[in-house]
Amino acid sequence: MTTMEPVPTLVHLDSPFINFRDFDFGEGSHGYRWIDAKRFQLSSEALDDREVLAALIAHPQFRDTYDGAGVQDWPRHGQWWLDRILPDVYDTVDAETAVDVVHSWANQHGGVPESLASRLREEIYTPIRKATSRYLLGQLPEDAFHDYGPIHIDYHELALIDRPAATLTLLVAADD
């Protein structure tokens, strides 16, 4: 008799990274900003969105504090203790709200160079608009900050579920 291994709900595909320092801002400022996109393949199981968010939170790739250390085996995510992040802390948002969060953050120091704007349109705004559902990490209580958080001035996190493409993308837009 053979035992069946459970099919993973999420399989990490890649983690494209957009570093604003790689673009010429001329007289403007890149503000030490960046966007990390962790992309996952969804299993063919019909999970509801909250179950997909729970699978994301449980995934080893979620254990990233975005401080340069990369993914580690520790109980932290972003600036927070991992156990303080539950699917219900993600707020449902529409495409325009999600785009506005990233666009306003990206342009807070003035317009971005066209080469960066083009990359944001292709790699960030288009997937936001194509997603069938979008979730913005909501406000967490003060005691959710881990032992050396907060480490970012601005931090925005979106989870994008695209059912036709069977993908989930975790977008983190922050500064150093």
Rounded to whole angstroms, how far apart are CA atoms 33 and 146? 22
Rounded to whole angstroms, how far apart are CA atoms 53 and 51? 5
Domain boundaries, the chain: 10-175
User: 5: pLDDT confidence band, cut at 50, 70 and 90?
Assistant: very low
113 pLDDT higher than 70 = yes
CATH code at 10-175: 3.40.1000.50
Kindly state the average pLDDT of the residues 102-116. 94
Q: How does pLDDT run across 13-31, given as a tens digit for each residue?
A: 999 999 999 999 988 778 7
Asked whether the beta carbons of 144 and 168 are under 8 A apart, the reply is no
Q: How does pLDDT run across 133-152, given as a tens digit for each residue?
A: 999 999 998 888 887 767 77
Give the per-residue pLDDT at 168. Answer: 97
What residues form DSSP beta bridges with 84? none
Give the per-residue pLDDT at 1. Answer: 42
Rounded to whole angstroms, how far apart are CA atoms 65 and 67? 5
